[in-house]
Chain A
Amino acid sequence: MKTVYGFFILIFSLAVFSSCKKDTFEASTATGLWKQVSVTEDGTPMSLTPEQESCELLLEANGTCRYYHQSFIKYNNGSGPTKFYGTWSMLDGKWINFTTEKWQFVAPITSDSNKVILTYKKDITNKLGIDTLTSVQKQWSQYHIQSRFTILQLSDTEMEIRLKTFEGEKKYAFLFAPAPSDFIELKTVAAGKANYIPKLATNQNYWTIRKEFQTLKTYIFKFRKETY
């Protein structure tokens, strides 16, 4: 009789172990080519531009992640950068981490009137205008950061991940394809350097951007697995 009880205890333990395992996801399922199919912001579907809809992720078993999107394809006379890279990892089978490029908003403002400090230059007609390229380089600081997503669904065909972050962190980062209207082309950078940067901050949009970096939102990204 005791042997029977022992047998049942063993079966019960195995059943518990198996049921726990179903709550987590295998890293091997995440490897492959994923096409972004939808993004929601606080539950509302975001309208994506065709450049953003082209977004794909190639996750490889060695932890590298290659991103593709066409947000900057119009730069450099139509041959702008489309390929970007970072790393990925899975944590406890429940979270997935991605490292991506991000920009911190560091635009200087005057202490007395809260006006955005811009750099000016004279054009060929000797008229004074905003030096956009010099100004934006003083307003944004590029860095890399790891974002941790909660895995909602991960199968051989679909991946759904959730991130709670600031609106500005999503907009001015490669999560996973930025809107082309939020970035501008840097036309005078040296070969091999990134020729994209977030848009110019002026007195008109400064506080809007600041607010974006203080507004928390929840984003859900859905991907479909592609064969290659």
Chain B
Amino acid sequence: MKNTSERILFPRLLLGCLPLLILFLGTACKKDAEVDNMTTKITGTWHQISQTKDDIPASKDSSRLIMQINANNICILCDSSKVAVKAKTIIKRSGWSYTGGLFNLAIDLPAAWTPVAETNKLTLERVDFKQDGALTKTKLTFERVADLEIK
């Protein structure tokens, strides 16, 4: 009698737990998919079209007028600043990753960028402390250009 009721109860309990298991698995897969999706979206060659500081238009950030984000986690920046041009160091390489919803560019750490990626448009936003303790928001907007080999 006992064995019979256990035989009935156990599958029912398992069946009850099944939706929870599916829910956990589904959530885990969703997070991985989000990371993969963003990684795919930001990979490519990007041309900077504008910069804003606290939503006020500012001159472009010359340290990264062209940015190539490669799938191998290497990012190549074309630095057109006067210092780089004079020192002949216009090509800069840096590692990158996407964690916690942030685009981490080794050259910029500890600051990280919040990316918003569309098919042909990429917006990067970061905050930094000013000397008085207030936060300033920098936003860079890029458009996708044809992949090119940067040497």
Q: Is the interface of A mostly helix, strand, loop or mixed?
A: mixed
Q: Which of A5, A62, A63, A82 contacts B129 (CB 8 A)?
A: A82
Stretch among A52-60, A90-98, A118-126, A213-221 lining the B interface: A52-60
Instruction: A77 to B78: give the CA distance in the assembly, Å.
Output: 35
Which residue from chain B places its CB closest to the CB of A1 in the assembled complex?
A: B5
Q: Is the CB of A10 within 8 A of B131?
A: no
B128: chain A residues within 8 A (beta carbon): 83
Shortest Cβ distance from B112 into A: residue: A62
Residue with the greatest number of chain B CB neighbours at <10 A, chosen from A3, A60, A228: A60
Using CB atoms, name the residue of chain B closest to A9. Answer: B13
Q: Decide if the interface of chain B is mainly helix, strand, loop or mixed.
A: mixed
Q: B residues within 8 A CB of A62?
A: 99-100, 102, 104, 112
Chain A positions 13 through 45: 1 when the CB is less than 8 Å from some CB of chain B, otherwise 0: 000000000000000000101000000000000
Known contacts A33-B135, A62-B112, A64-B109, A83 near B102 by CB under 8 Å: no
- Nearest neighbor of B4 in chain A, beta-carbon distance: A2
The answer to whether B12 touches A6, judged by C-beta atoms less than 8 angstroms apart, is: yes
B102 touching A68 by the CB < 8 A rule? no
Known: A33-B135, A82-B129. A60 touches B112 (CB 8 A): yes
Measured in the bound complex, the distance between the Cα atoms of B12 and A61 in whole Å is: 40
Contact B110 A85 (CB under 8 A): yes
Number of residues on chain B facing chain A (CB within 8 A): 23
CB distance from A109 to the nearest CB of B (A): 38
**In the assembled complex, which residues on chain A have CB atoms less than 8 Å from the CB atom of B26?**
none
Instruction: Say if the beta carbon of A139 comes within 8 Å of chain B.
Output: no
- On whether A2 and B133 interact (CB within 8 A), knowing A62-B100, A62-B104, the answer reads no
Judged by a CB distance under 8 angstroms, whether A100 is at the interface is no
Residue of A nearest to B12 (CB): A6
Q: CB distance B129 to A61 under 8 Å?
A: no
B9 an interface residue at 8 Å Cβ cutoff? yes
A228 touches B131 (CB 8 A): no
Q: Taking the nearest CB of chain B, how far is it from the CB of A30, in angstroms?
A: 12
A-B CB contact pairs (8 Å), 22 listed? A2-B8, A2-B9, A5-B9, A6-B13, A7-B16, A10-B16, A56-B133, A60-B100, A60-B102, A61-B102, A62-B100, A62-B102, A62-B104, A63-B99, A64-B111, A66-B110, A68-B129, A68-B133, A82-B133, A85-B110, A228-B127, A228-B135
A interface residue numbers (CB < 8 A to B): 2-3, 5-7, 9-10, 31, 33, 54, 56, 58, 60-66, 68, 70, 73, 79, 82-83, 85, 228
B interface residues (Cβ-Cβ under 8 A, vs A): 5, 8-9, 12-13, 16-17, 99-102, 104, 109-112, 127-129, 131, 133, 135, 137
The 10 closest A-B pairs by CB, nearest first: A61-B100, A85-B110, A62-B100, A64-B110, A62-B102, A68-B129, A2-B5, A228-B135, A62-B99, A6-B9
